[in-house]
Amino acid sequence: MKKLLYIGLFTICSILAACGGSRTGASMAGGDTIVFKYARDISIVKYKDYTVAKIRNPWKEGMLLHTYILVPKTEKQIPDHLPEGDLIRTPIDRSVISTTAHCQLLEYLHAADAISGVFDLKYILIPDIHSRVKRGKITDCGNGMSPEIEKIICLKPQALFLSPFDNSGGYGKIQTLGVPIVECADYMETSPLGRAEWMKFYGLLFGCEKRADSLFLVVSHTYNTLKRKAAGLPLGRSILTERKTGSVWYCPGGASTVGQMISDAHGRYAFAKDKHSGSLSLSFEQVLDKAGTSDVWAFKYDAPHPMTKAQLLQEYSGYTALKAFRTGEIYECNSSKVPYFEQTPFRPDFLLRDLIQMLHPGVNLGGFRFYRKLE
């Protein structure tokens, strides 16, 4: 029986591999480069019968993370002499998505029907996804760290969308399926619009290139309009973000997307001059010394009920030393109730609007979308 199961899985994997896989060769001349104004970790060149997308390795300077060769399904035969890279036939109409942000992007692009499976369903705050899971239209493929391989095989996906991590050691069994893995490294971009601009790549993959281009024009125009408006205001209040987790307080680095957004909101940030694009691992004492006098404290959490000041003190009594705690200028975002992680990666203009209102009292841009003032 085990032998028959093994043979069956091998056969299915072979069929899946026929839908994509690694190609070798080299014939690239006279392509049209897609312009990326903000994104730094991706480049795309379109040729007559295929497109080459290259993802830069954000952890290793001068190295590539992945190269994809996109060949339209309208091409009945695979072109000869394709350059080296993983072959993906487009548009993709069956995929497994690992992150809530990319599920939301496909909703924006009216391409959600191409989602066949998802990981970590409980963290996806998109009603339509849950509805389609209940109706059997989308399969819950389990935990992203230990996915249910058999379910993935049964879906016969044309691509798996996963988030890469530095020194992760690969993707385990999932990378043996013969299915192209699209490494969603957009989260490593160091500017809000840089990450959002990756929607052009995803639009190509799912056959909605024009829709993605149009959406990005809206996002970039709205974001830059808000940025200019903020720049015309007096310098805003200072802000401290997130809260203590165990013995560590993770603050966004000055060169992170959040750090840039605070600057774009014309606010003040104690770690603005820091050059890190990721998070800073700090003790409470370090935060208190550097940012304890910040005017505003804003943080995210995941809980069934709204946070209160009493709960914060139960969590850590030292919060009383923060100026914003004493003055009541605390803003919270309950990510189990509002779609912060779904929407902000590809709609950074939504978050910038919240930050401007938070850092410039009296400025009303239609109210808050994600945050609310702690009562």
Torsion of CA 70, 202, 171, 188, to 10 degrees: 120
CA–CA gap between residue 77 and residue 103 (Å, rounded): 31
User: Which pLDDT score is estimated for 219?
Assistant: 98
Of 235, 154, 198, 179, the residue nearest 41 (C-alpha)? 198
Domains and CATH numbers, the chain: 17-219 (3.40.50.1980), 235-373 (3.40.50.1980)
Phi first, then psi, for residue 311 (nearest 5°) are -65, -40
pTM, full prediction: 0.90
CA–CA gap between residue 268 and residue 154 (Å, rounded): 51
Distances (CA, A) of 229 to 137, 197, 232, 288, 352: 44, 22, 5, 31, 11
User: Which pLDDT score is estimated for 268?
Assistant: 98
SS3 content of the chain, % helix, strand, coil (to 5): 35, 20, 40
* pLDDT of 9 higher than 60: no
pLDDT band at 191 (very low <50, low <70, confident <90, very high): very high
CA–CA gap between residue 90 and residue 88 (Å, rounded): 6
User: Which pLDDT score is estimated for 28?
Assistant: 53
**pLDDT tens, 118-140?**
999 999 999 999 999 999 999 99
User: Which pLDDT score is estimated for 30?
Assistant: 78
